[in-house]
Structure 1
Amino acid sequence: MIHVKKILNNNVVIAEHPNYNEVVLIGKGLGFGKKTGDEIAKDKAEKFFVLKDAHEQEQYINLLEYVDESFIAIMNDFIERIENRFGMQLNEHIHVGLTDHLFFAIKRIKQGLDVKNPFRQETELAYPKEYAMAEELVEWLKAELDINIPEGEIGFIALHIHSALSNRNLAEINKNTQLVSGLIDVIEENLNITIDKKDTNYLRLVRHLHHTIDRVQSENYMEEQESLKKVLQSEYPVCYTLSWKLMKIMQQKLKKPVPDEEAVYLTLHLQRLYKTVS
């Protein structure tokens, strides 16, 4: 049996579970008339999820003080849909982080405040599956709450989903997205081009830059390509030189070494992009 540890409201309780220790239970009238130590039959709870971290539990309790229960229910349903879609359990912080973010985003939208997201496109290119899931959530919220959420907000939602899937800090993911956007600016300036953001070569370059950053941060480096490096240096000196400039920027921002072999892959991506616009 499951025993009540703390009543959060009539429909949400924190309980002691025989297999998961503490869990958050959700069900209509679940907490009504209950007190600490009371038993709750498992079939009474419509939903449950685990919040192992005490800090996450505290944040969730605070969340319930200002977020409507109906909105909590919508978000929990969608978080369950994300887990089913990707076939994995999400980092528990999404119950707090994404719910809180969207609650205040919707308030701003209702007040007529615009949502700016200069990195939306880079986010869509880097995390297409998460972005598609975010689009689903926006459509769901439109149907449930009759509200039109602007396109820029989809990128922010996608980052929350990616953070929960990858168990990576949202601030770190945001920094990486901004870093990629900055690198694209450097490329346009140095090659004196305006990149067509719909070009397939641009899509490949953005994804490659994100993968490079991930590899550098995890120290999962590529194999050496010494012979190919010399050929590219001779054949494509402009793009080869630029690749090293980009690598130095990444190294400074990430505070980790970027392996020399990365010059080969970057040069190839840059040359393909440069060829389409020159």
Structure 2
Amino acid sequence: MKILRILNNNVVIALNDEGEEVVLMGNGLGFQKKPGFEVDVSKVEKTFEMSGQFEKLRIEKLFAEIPEEIIKISYEILSYARKQLQKDLNETTFIAIADHLYTAIQRTKNNIQMKNFLLWDVKRFFPDELEIARQAIQVVNQRMGIQLSDDEAGFLTLHIVNAAIDSTNESAIDLTQMIEEILTVIKYTLKINFIENDIYFQRFITHLRFFSERVLNPSHNKIEEDMVENELFTLVVRKYPEAFEATKKVVDLLKTRWDYNTSRDEQVYITIHIARIIEKMN
């Protein structure tokens, strides 16, 4: 591979064997090098493909403006999140994290505080990711000599959630909004207030997270073959009529807002979760 452009001492853009431009990261990879030099492949630690011209310009601008320490911390955050969550995360998310941290640091230095109006929902729906983000913000504060707020931890959480979602077209904000709308429909249909520290509610939130990810993923946005037998579906409907009434409202919401056809399997799972919550409250 040959070096095309040097972004800093540790990051270069090179031409791979397929004739595609890639971003290479590695300690000293660009030090005392010039365009046209061969890449020292023994120093390459990470390789990132660029999907289009806009992404190329964005990456070049980012590495040109953002201090190397922030870029390094951002990748450490992504690696730490992957280890803690034990999930595959989108490698290029560190770019969005670096961009956000740099902007947040500049705002804080200028005494501009951004209120995160999603923070309450983030605490409810993504507690594990939020804890990771809070740990990351502590590291950033210590190493950069800054004092970023908990609101920034909330923003960072959304980037971490985005990295785990199996779709590059959807975001954590969409996921959060969907879960909130589903809970609102159930709440007003049943005329109840959720006990949010209840184990049954927490289990339902976990189910909704994975379910909502499937809804937001275009490859899953279709009716899948049901595994639940008709008899079981009928039994659940008859046994939990109140819960199923709320499920039907959720089905209507998903069809209207996201053009999603909720399978019989999914309706059974949602109904059972709601029924458990109702029983616990009673």
For Structure 1 versus Structure 2, the TM-score category normalised by the shorter chain is 0.7 to 0.9
Q: Is the 8 A contact 1:124 1:155 kept in 2?
A: no
Residues 154-173 of structure 1 mapped to structure 2, 5 A cutoff: 154-169=153-168, 171-173=170-172
Q: Is the 8 A contact 1:124 1:131 kept in 2?
A: yes
Pair 1:113 & 2:117 matched:
no
In structure 2, the residue matched to 1:193 is 192
| Distance change in 2, residues 1:253/1:210 (3 Å) | farther
Q: Is the 8 A contact 1:14 1:23 kept in 2?
A: yes
Aligned-partner residue type, residue 276 of structure 2: R
Moved over 6 A (4+): 86-89
In structure 2, the residue matched to 1:273 is 277
Structure 1: how far apart are the matches of 2:84 and 2:15?
A: 28
The CA deviation at 1:272 is 1.3
| Distance change in 2, residues 1:83/1:15 (3 Å) | farther
Which stretches in structure 2 are left out of the alignment for 5+ residues? none
Structure 2: how far apart are the matches of 1:114 and 1:174?
A: 16
Query: Out of 258, 261, 266, which is 1:257 matched to?
Result: 261
Q: Is the 8 A contact 1:51 1:92 kept in 2?
A: no
After superposition, the CA RMSD in angstroms is 3.1
The CA deviation at 1:104 is 1.7
Residues 17-166 of structure 1 mapped to structure 2, 5 A cutoff: 17=16, 22-28=22-28, 30-43=29-42, 45=43, 47-55=45-53, 56-82=55-81, 90-110=89-109, 111-116=111-116, 117=118, 118-124=120-126, 128=128, 130-166=129-165
Aligned-partner residue type, residue 199 of structure 2: T
Structure 2: how far apart are the matches of 1:167 and 1:57?
A: 23
Q: Is the 8 A contact 2:7 2:13 kept in 1?
A: yes
Structure 1: how far apart are the matches of 2:56 and 2:76?
A: 19
Residues 157-236 of structure 1 mapped to structure 2, 5 A cutoff: 157-169=156-168, 171-216=170-215, 217=217, 218=220, 219=222, 220=224, 222-236=226-240
Structure 2: how far apart are the matches of 1:199 and 1:14?
A: 51
Structure 2: how far apart are the matches of 1:200 and 1:87?
A: 23
Q: Identical aligned pairs, as a percentage?
A: 24
| Deviates most, 202-211 or 101-110 | 101-110
